């Protein structure tokens, strides 16, 4: 393994990394010092929107580019911190004029348009809660999340509204308003034109007192057994955002930063909106989907210095089989970080060979709110490892005992569940309306991540797999239960069992095993029909990409689907313990 | 293969991978991925199937040239 260790020459950095000595930084770290980095509100408390935008707009950075937006068709729009302050104030005033108040949930369903980024800050200014949805969700995941999150307002586009939300309107009783980003006129008293409202709204807004523990964001994440869970975050999470921006993304004042994640997922909000702006950094947003040539051009033309991307994209770039540094001027780029799923060692090595710099993997979850474990710019990289815990974060491996307790594993290289010591500022505060599920995440003074891992002699953590059946596809979590429930609504389906099938490009793909009702014959046509059925209801991000018919779905005697067994069969592995399998 | 045949092969493959799509919603000059919500994994699959059928492989570096049905059609015509 040692050949995949990448050493760093501390004298070779043109810009000195913020974290030079890992152990020294950990020892000297304290959260009180992080607190000093923020203004706080004149009215009292701490609000993400003020710290990310308004305080910069009120100071020397007012004219600096906060957002550089690249449109799909070549347009480019630049918004200064002052512009975002005014526009987000308008959005906050719009919410206020509609009677939307503190703590109420505002859902967003949009492609990466500037309005989405402006609205995110406006929502936080109004002390409402930002709940982002991924634009490629189908109607069912949208309905589930909006109902569970008690959505009061939805910000979306005309096309997405028509296709996905209009048919749901009767089921969304709590939803008071839909704000259409691209409609010039109101459609009704409930479906309104955002441009019209923004035009008449004032461009200043005083943020009212915000308790650091007030809810700020609600992101939904998938569970194994039930429907998605609403992960509650609070304004104080910005401590971790700021701190990881300093240590992991190594922000310096002149950086130009590009996070390729969509704000429909937690990376796209924590690191695609909040963190760069907390540091007063210029943030690049590209509206278009992945295209290798386009991405290299963005890195070159926008002179990106810090790039936060994902393994799926890196593996696509590897397919290009070119010499990127000869074809593009990537000389400004000084740091690449990756998240979403473990980065395979080949990709790290590819970075060294082709991009002339290694790619740094890191680890965190929706629940942790911010990066917890990382490979740092100044530190040795062990390719395939997620790195070491950030200053202020205590991580370990725990073993589950038969009596329900856990014991910390102190022996190196021994597999167990990756656990974190509560509490850090960006730790989730609850699963919305589900205290019981939240409580189950904490055992014996540890937050249990659900990821299996081991820690080597030097404290580097290595991902092994999930302890549950959650699927990680293109870096996104998909809950098998949500997919199974949908398929079982099809009249031909008796039962369904859904697994993540390993895939070299996207990590895992969603595969469904389906048993048919008596009298229904399996056919290629039916397979296609089921794929279409899934896509229509769940959307392409969640729907199964493969269907396999099977006479029956293996279940335990108590009726639980044995997805582990389906997965072993799919991969041709030994079936393991089948003593609980029903006859 | 004629241009029309190539075009119908493209449409057939889009519908094969994304059977939820109505053929009428496939607008030849619109971005396939964006307008039809085809993710990059599915897009890759469509191109792989087409390369088998048409005998033309589209390298990753040319993906921007096959973003719409019209562009894809022209690309396959040129490279067949």
Q: Are A537 and A486 in contact (CB under 8 A)?
A: yes
Chain Cα centroid distance, residue A542:
15
Residue A341 per-residue DSSP state: S
Contacts of A293 in chain B (CB under 8 A): 61, 63-64
Contacts of A109 in chain B (CB under 8 A): none
Nearest-angstrom CA–CA distance, A131 and A146: 9
| Residue among B16, B38, B44 whose CB faces A540 most closely | B38
How much is the pTM?
A: 0.93
Tell me phi and psi for residue A282, to 5 degrees: -70, 130
Helices (H), A180-306: 194-200, 238-247, 266-269, 275-278, 292-301
Nearest to A128 by CA among A151, A161, A157, A160: A151
pLDDT at A225: 75
Q: What is the CATH number of domain A472-571?
A: 3.30.300.30
Whole-angstrom distance between the N-terminal and C-terminal Cα of chain A?
45
Q: Smallest CA–CA separation between A261 and chain B, in Å? A: 14
CB contact under 8 Å between B42 and A545, yes or no, is yes
Mean pLDDT across chain B? 94
**Beta carbons within 8 Å of A522's beta carbon, 6+ residues apart:** A516, A549
Residue A258 per-residue DSSP state: E
CB contact under 8 Å between A291 and B38, yes or no, is no
Nearest-angstrom CA–CA distance, A347 and A345: 5
Looking at domain A38-452, its CATH superfamily turns out to be ANL, N-terminal domain (3.40.50.12780)
Among A residues 499-528, those touching chain B with beta carbons less than 8 Å apart: 503, 505-506, 509, 528
CB contact under 8 Å between B34 and A539, yes or no, is no
Token couple for A399 = 């073993």
**Beta carbons within 8 Å of A199's beta carbon, 6+ residues apart:** none
Among A residues 75-114, those touching chain B with beta carbons less than 8 Å apart: 111
pLDDT single digits (tens) A319-364: 888 999 999 999 999 999 999 989 999 999 999 999 999 999 999 9
pLDDT at A3: 64
pLDDT at A325: 96
CB contact under 8 Å between A322 and B61, yes or no, is yes
Nearest-angstrom CA–CA distance, A434 and A441: 12
User: Looking at the domain B3-79, which fold is it?
Assistant: 1.10.1200
pLDDT per residue rounded down to tens, chain A (583 residues): 456 899 999 999 999 999 999 999 999 999 999 999 999 999 999 999 999 999 999 999 999 999 999 999 999 999 999 999 999 999 999 999 999 999 999 999 999 999 999 999 999 999 999 999 999 999 999 999 999 999 999 999 999 999 999 999 999 999 999 999 999 999 999 999 999 999 999 999 999 999 999 999 999 998 777 789 999 999 999 999 999 999 999 999 999 999 999 999 999 999 999 999 999 999 999 999 999 999 999 999 999 999 999 999 999 999 888 999 999 999 999 999 999 989 999 999 999 999 999 999 999 999 999 999 999 999 999 999 999 999 999 999 999 999 999 999 999 999 999 999 999 999 999 999 999 999 999 999 999 999 999 999 999 999 998 888 999 999 888 999 999 999 999 999 999 999 999 999 999 999 999 999 999 999 999 999 999 999 999 999 999 999 999 999 998 887 788 898 999 889 888 777 777 777 6
Interface predicted TM-score (ipTM): 0.94
CB contact under 8 Å between B37 and A539, yes or no, is yes
CB contact under 8 Å between A535 and B38, yes or no, is no
User: How is chain A split into domains, by residue range?
Assistant: 38-452, 472-571
Other Cβ atoms within 10 Å of A315 Cβ, number: 18
Nearest-angstrom CA–CA distance, A120 and A107: 10
Q: Smallest CA–CA separation between B26 and chain A, in Å? A: 15
pLDDT at A293: 94
Cis peptide preceding A302, ω within 30 of 0: no
Question: Nearest 10 degrees: CA dihedral of B59, B65, B66, B68?
Answer: 170
CB contact under 8 Å between B42 and A540, yes or no, is yes
Best of A295, A540, A547 to disrupt the B interface (most B CBs within 10 Å) is A540
CB contact under 8 Å between A540 and B18, yes or no, is yes
């Amino acid at each position: 393994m040692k050949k995949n260790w990448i050493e760093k020459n501390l004298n070779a950095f043109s810009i000195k990394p913020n974290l030079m000595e890992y152990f020294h930084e950990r020892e000297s770290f304290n959260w009180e010092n992080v607190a000093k980095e923020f203004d706080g509100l004149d009215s009292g408390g701490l609000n993400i929107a003020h710290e990310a935008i308004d305080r910069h707009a009120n100071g020397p950075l007012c004219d600096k580019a906060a957002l550089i937006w690249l449109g799909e068709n070549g347009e480019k729009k630049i918004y200064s911190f002052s512009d975002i302050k005014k526009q987000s104030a308008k959005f906050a005033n719009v919410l206020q004029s509609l009677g939307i108040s503190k703590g109420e949930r505002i859902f967003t369903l949009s492609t990466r348009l500037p309005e989405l980024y402006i609205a995110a800050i406006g929502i936080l200014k109004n002390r409402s809660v930002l709940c982002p949805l991924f634009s490629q969700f189908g109607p069912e995941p949208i309905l589930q999340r909006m109902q569970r999150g008690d959505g009061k307002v939805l910000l979306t586009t005309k096309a997405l509204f028509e296709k996905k939300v209009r048919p749901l309107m009767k089921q969304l009783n709590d939803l008071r308003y839909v704000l259409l980003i691209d409609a010039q006129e109101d459609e009704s008293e409930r479906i309104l034109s955002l441009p019209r409202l923004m035009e008449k709204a004032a461009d200043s807004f005083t943020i009212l007192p915000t308790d650091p523990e007030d809810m700020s964001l609600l992101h939904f994440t998938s569970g194994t057994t039930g429907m998605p869970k609403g992960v509650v975050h609070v304004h104080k999470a910005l401590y971790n955002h700021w701190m990881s921006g300093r240590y992991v993304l190594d922000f310096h004042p002149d950086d130009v930063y590009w996070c390729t994640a969509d704000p429909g997922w937690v990376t796209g909000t924590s690191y695609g909106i909040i963190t760069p702006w907390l540091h007063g950094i210029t943030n690049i947003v590209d509206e278009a989907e992945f295209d290798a040539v386009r991405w290299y051009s963005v890195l070159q033309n926008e002179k990106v210095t810090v790039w936060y991307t994902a393994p799926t994209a890196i593996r696509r770039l590897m397919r290009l089989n070119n010499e990127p540094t000869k074809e593009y001027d990537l000389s400004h780029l000084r740091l690449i970080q990756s998240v979403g799923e473990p980065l395979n060692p080949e990709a790290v090595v590819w970075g060294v060979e082709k991009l002339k710099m290694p790619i740094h993997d890191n680890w965190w979850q929706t629940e942790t709110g911010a990066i917890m474990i990382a490979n740092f710019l100044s530190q040795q990289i062990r390719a395939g490892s997620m790195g070491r815990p950030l200053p202020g974060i205590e991580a370990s491996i725990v073993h589950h005992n038969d009596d329900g307790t856990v014991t910390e594993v102190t022996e190196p290289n021994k597999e167990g569940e990756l656990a974190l010591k509560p509490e850090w500022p960006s730790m989730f505060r609850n699963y919305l309306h589900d205290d019981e599920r939240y409580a189950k995440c904490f055992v014996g003074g540890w937050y249990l991540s659900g990821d299996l891992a081991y820690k080597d002699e030097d404290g580097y953590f290595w991902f092994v797999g999930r302890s549950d059946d959650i699927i990680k596809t293109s870096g996104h979590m998909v809950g098998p239960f949500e997919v199974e429930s949908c398929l079982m609504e099809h009249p031909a389906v008796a039962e369904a069992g859904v697994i993540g099938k390993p895939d070299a490009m996207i990590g895992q793909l969603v595969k469904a095993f389906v048993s048919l009702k008596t009298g229904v014959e399996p056919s290629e046509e039916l397979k296609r029909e089921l794929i279409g059925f899934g896509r229509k209801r769940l959307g392409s991000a969640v729907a199964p990409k493969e269907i396999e018919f099977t006479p029956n779905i293996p279940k335990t005697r108590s009726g639980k689907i044995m997805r582990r067994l389906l997965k072993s069969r799919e991969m041709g592995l030994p079936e393991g313990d089948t003593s609980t399998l029903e006859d | 293969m004629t241009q029309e045949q190539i075009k119908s092969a493209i449409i057939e493959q889009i519908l094969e991978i994304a059977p939820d799509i109505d053929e009428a919603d496939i607008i030849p000059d619109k971005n396939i991925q964006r307008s039809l919500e085809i993710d990059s994994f599915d897009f890759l699959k469509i191109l792989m199937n087409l390369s088998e059928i048409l005998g033309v492989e589209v390298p990753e570096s040319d993906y921007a040239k096959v973003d719409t049905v019209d562009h894809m059609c022209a690309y396959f015509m040129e490279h067949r």
